[in-house]
Amino acid sequence: MPNDPTSLAERGDAHERAGLYDRAAEDYSRLIALDPANAKAWNNRCWDRALLGRLEQALADCNEALRLAPDDPGSLDSRAFTYLKLGRFAQAIADYDAALARNPREPGSLYGRGIARLRSNNNPEGGRADLAAAKSIDPDVAAEFARYGFSE
């Protein structure tokens, strides 16, 4: 069922879990063409494009996801991650702060904010505290971020 939104979303999710980010992004693109108001599809494509290094495209997708769902912590986290990859640390910290205000125990947001704080030298003590808090919630978060090119 190549034009079924549910099937496209599920296949995109499966491709993403398998690390096939280009194929996941293609599925989300098809889903967006069918349902342009689907904020989750925009966010998912943002994330996959960020992982692929297509950072300006990712940022545009995140912005659209947030236009459709302004308070979504997942989209805020994805945009923060994109800013982190772009080296725009102040913007990454601001978006991680907003995501954490909505979901304070999200290890990826805590870890990402910690990395942004350390890399920008903006509150390094707070950055180290964020990293420790993230690892106490999810001991695997450091390894995940290492796969994305970020380490302490």
Q: Are residues 9 and 56 in the same domain?
A: yes
As a whole number of angstroms, the distance between CA 139 and CA 72 comes to: 25
Give the ranges where 36-72 is alpha helix by DSSP (H): 39-52, 55-68
Kindly report whether the global pTM for this prediction surpasses the value 0.85: yes
Q: Are residues 109 and 128 in the same domain?
A: yes
Residue that terminates a domain, selected from 70, 91, 110: 70
Q: Are residues 17 and 87 in the same domain?
A: no
- Each residue of 60-106: pLDDT tens digit? 999 999 999 999 999 999 999 999 999 999 999 999 999 999 999 99
Q: Are residues 89 and 57 in the same domain?
A: no
As a whole number of angstroms, the distance between CA 110 and CA 131 comes to: 7
- Residue 125: pLDDT band with limits 50, 70, 90: very high
- Each residue of 131-144: pLDDT tens digit? 999 999 999 999 99
Residue that terminates a domain, selected from 43, 70, 97: 70
As a whole number of angstroms, the distance between CA 28 and CA 137 comes to: 30
What's the domain range around 24?
1-70
Q: Find the range with the poorest average confidence among 15-19, 45-49, 52-56.
A: 15-19
Q: Are residues 146 and 91 in the same domain?
A: yes
Mean per-residue pLDDT, 14-28: 94
Residue that terminates a domain, selected from 70, 96, 126: 70
Q: Are residues 90 and 33 in the same domain?
A: no
CATH number of the domain that residue 125 is part of: 1.25.40.10
pLDDT reading at 1 higher than 70: no
